[in-house]
Amino acid sequence: MKVLLRSIETGLFYEEISKWTPDQTAALDFEKTTRAVDLVFAAHLENVEMLLTSEDPQFDLILPIDKKRPLTLSQPATGGSHRKSRGTPGHELQPKPSARSSA
């Protein structure tokens, strides 16, 4: 599987810094989705999508990257107060006091 970035506006694939190509085979393979997302945020790229490509195009996936919405495990559907689920990013769990003390 290859991990590629493509401009939504132009259809060009990311090749290297400030260089985009229409040739999918010349595009940079990030190998891991986290590397592609890291570059999008570090280089302030906008209007890009991630392509996960395989030898059989019917199994290719196109994933939009929305920089305006933070990536979290759960997001509220509406405003107002609600109970956050345990372990959501940005909400560290505090250890419960132990019955035994550490010396």
Domain ranges of the chain: 2-64
Check residue 52 and give its pLDDT: 97
Check residue 48 and give its pLDDT: 96
Check residue 20 and give its pLDDT: 97
Interatomic CA distance for residues 1 and 29, integer angstroms: 9
Q: Is the pLDDT of residue 16 over 90?
A: yes
Task: Kindly report the average pLDDT of the chain as a whole number.
Answer: 77
